[in-house]
Structure formats: C-alpha cells, structure tokens
Amino acid sequence: MTQIRVELGEQSYPILVEPGALEMAAQHLQGFAANKRLFVLTDDHVGAHLLPRLQHAFAGSAIDLVVKSLPAGEASKSWRQLERVTDWLLAEGAERSDTLVALGGGVIGDLTGFAAAIVKRGCNFVQIPTSLLAQVDSSVGGKTAINSSVGKNLIGSFNQPRFVLIDPLVLNSLPDRELRAGYAEVVKYGLINDARFFEWCEANSEQLLNREPDALSEAIVHSVRAKALIVGEDEKELSGRRALLNLGHTFGHALEAETGFSDRLVHGEAVAAGMALAFRYSVRRGHCDAADAERVAAHLKAVGLPHSLASASVQASGARLVDHMMHDKKMSGGTLPFLLANGIGQSFLAKDVDLADVAAFLDESA
Ligand code: GLY
C-alpha cells in the first residue's frame, strides 16, 4: 500500500494506491459518509463490471450507496448529463456534507467533480478511477469540466477531491486499447522531467501492458507522485509549472479535433502522437537532439501507440491543424504556449512559438 499526499494547505488530500483497494472501499470511505450514505456516479460499462464489487464491499456496512449510471463515453460530459446528475442529487436530498463518489474513468471523474462543485455551492467528492489514464492523470489535481459545443473541457472548475482510491487490479478488465492509451500519460512523466523514468518505461512497458501487477503499481505510484508534486506547486496552472503536464496536448488536441473527438483517435493516443510531434518540432527549432526525438517516437511505436501524423491516420494540412489549436483554452492574448523539450526529461514552456512555423512543420511531417 502506498499513500501519496497532494499538498494544498486546507485542501490537501491523500491518494491511496493499493491492489485490492476496491474490496476495502467501505473501510476507506466510511469517514466520508456523513449521512450514512454515498452518492455513486458511474457509467454503463464500468458499472457492469465494478459496481457489483463496490456494492459487495459495502454490504453489511451501515452505509447506503445511492447510485446513478450514465451512458459510457465522452458525450456524457455535457450540459444535459450534468443537469440529469444535479437534478438527481437534488431530488435525492443531497446536502453539502454529502460525498459523491466517481467510479469510472476521466469522463465520470470530470462530471462528478464538476457536479460536486456546483450542487448547493459545493459538496464533497472522492475519486475511484478505473482506467489507467484516470489513475495516473485525471483523478489527481482537481481539474473538472464538461464539454461545450465550442470545444472540450471549456466549462468547469478547479475542485479538488477529498480522497483518491486507486486499485491497480481494476485495470484487469480494461480493454487493451484503453490501457495503451493511458500508458501514453505514464510515458509523459518521464519526458517532462524524469529521464530515468523514461528509461524505466522503455525497460518495463511490456510487463506493464501485460498487466503485471508490480509493473502497473510502480508506474501508477511514480506517475501520481510526479503529478501530486506539480499540482502542489501550481494548483491552478498559473506559474507555468502545471502547464508541463500538457506536454503533447496542444498537438494532440488538434489531432483529436480533426478526428472529431471520436474513437478514431482516443485522448491518450492523440497525446502520444502529440508528444512525438512536440519532440520533432523541438529538433526543428534547435532545442533538442534528433536522437532524442527518434528515441521517443521509437518507444511509442514499439508499444503500438501513434507516433506521427500518418500513424495517427491524420491527413489534414498544417494550416487546418493550427486552426484547431487556436480553439485551445490555453490561447492567451492571441498566442499559444507550447510544451517543447531540450531533451528527454527536459521539457519547457515556450511562449514565442510562431503558429505559421508550426503549420509549415506539420506540412513537412505529413
Ligand atoms: N491533465 C493535466 C492536468 O491535470 O493539469
């Protein structure tokens, strides 16, 4: 069992990483059931596998689980589903002292966290992330949001959970593609500021993707520690420190927009291709050795992740991709900050990137 703390003063909270923790959920969450009940949000896919296990964990406890299941998929991060959730909570008489439990991946975590921020001006929530991506990234750090017709994650708030319960064993039922997509976010921590962890990824990716428990737990603990540290330093992405977590996301966002935020290219796959592009673009600008960019792309390719425009099946022009980037919420005063790298484990925020140059680079990369 490993416990990691996100240090945010009064909003600090623990993250528990423990194989089998789902079965012990009643013990871990009893302190949050202020009114002898917990409001659980899940989706139809996760709920089918994991809700019975959560309910079993609470059987015989004095705590009621009041459950709402939403359709699985990104489309649930919508005003419509938010309204359904908040109406349900109000109809059930949820109070500010109550706690919502997000049992699911990033979609459920984001929606639950945002609902918790606004119902009665705020109640508590805890995360039980069930995808690798949610375990190593979205469940930690308090970014909560829904999508708008203009773009992804544009309506939301920073709202920290009270507790995050991570059971690596729940990943055993995760589809291979989702596991691999989540792995892209694991690799990201190595590329940001930890070259030794990238080496670890190169040496252990096979075991991890074969779901060997030790490799999975080590990757999750390492990633969560890295993220907790960064969030503790820059909760609201003001100093540039937390922005490092967006490595690969600006290029990736353009690829996701071009593919309609659909199953053609899921988020982690777009981030993988985006990280490879960020490294190649860093070479073009003279920041990074070509050998490092090739090594990054080679690792992503070796694990079956997209590592170029072609392998992400994106054929759009550079101008079109840059146009997608300009709808990114990180646009500031007409410029877009980019995460670039001086090498593996040496990422930095560049605020002087010329979007016409990015478009030319993307045309050359096609
Ligand atoms: N996923 C990036 C962040 O939490 O800041």
Query: Selecting from 3.40.50.1220, 1.20.1090.10, 3.40.50.150, 3.40.50.11540, what CATH number does the domain 176-365 have?
Result: 1.20.1090.10
Say how far apart CA 167 and CA 30 lie, in whole Å: 17
pLDDT along the chain (366 residues), means of 10: 97 98 98 96 96 97 98 96 98 98 98 98 98 98 94 94 98 97 98 98 98 97 98 96 96 95 94 98 98 98 98 97 86 85 97 94 94
- With CA atoms as reference, report the closest residue to 16 among 29, 6, 2, 28: 2
Query: Selecting from 3.40.50.40, 3.30.950.10, 3.40.50.740, 3.40.50.1970, what CATH number does the domain 2-173 have?
Result: 3.40.50.1970
- Token pair of 24 as six digits: 């012990």
Residue 205 one-letter amino acid: S
Nearest CA, atom 3, ligand 1? 245
- With CA atoms as reference, report the closest residue to 267 among 253, 280, 279: 253
> Choosing from 222, 242, 299, 307, which is the catalytic residue?
242
Q: Do residues 166 and 19 make contact, with C-beta atoms less than 8 angstroms apart?
A: no
Q: Return the CA Rg of the chain.
A: 20
Q: What angle do CA 171, 129, 124 make, to 5 degrees?
A: 160
> Choosing from 18, 178, 218, 237, which is the catalytic residue?
237
Which atom of ligand 1 is nearest to 245's Cα?
2
- 138: DSSP letter: I
Say how far apart CA 345 and CA 60 lie, in whole Å: 48
Which atom of ligand 1 is nearest to 237's Cα?
5
> Choosing from 77, 180, 253, 307, which is the catalytic residue?
253
- 164: DSSP letter: E
- In terms of phi and psi (left: phi > 0; alpha: psi -120 to 50; beta: otherwise), the region of 286 is left
> What integer pLDDT is reported at residue 330 of this predicted model?
76
> What integer pLDDT is reported at residue 331 of this predicted model?
78
How far does the centroid of ligand 1 lie from the alpha carbon of residue 245, in Å? 5
Residue 200: CB atoms within 10 A of its CB come to 18
365 CB-contact burial (10 Å; exposed 0-12 / middle 13-18 / buried 19+): middle
Sketch the domain layout of the chain as residue ranges: 2-173, 176-365
Q: Is 121 a catalytic residue?
A: yes
Say how far apart CA 298 and CA 306 lie, in whole Å: 10
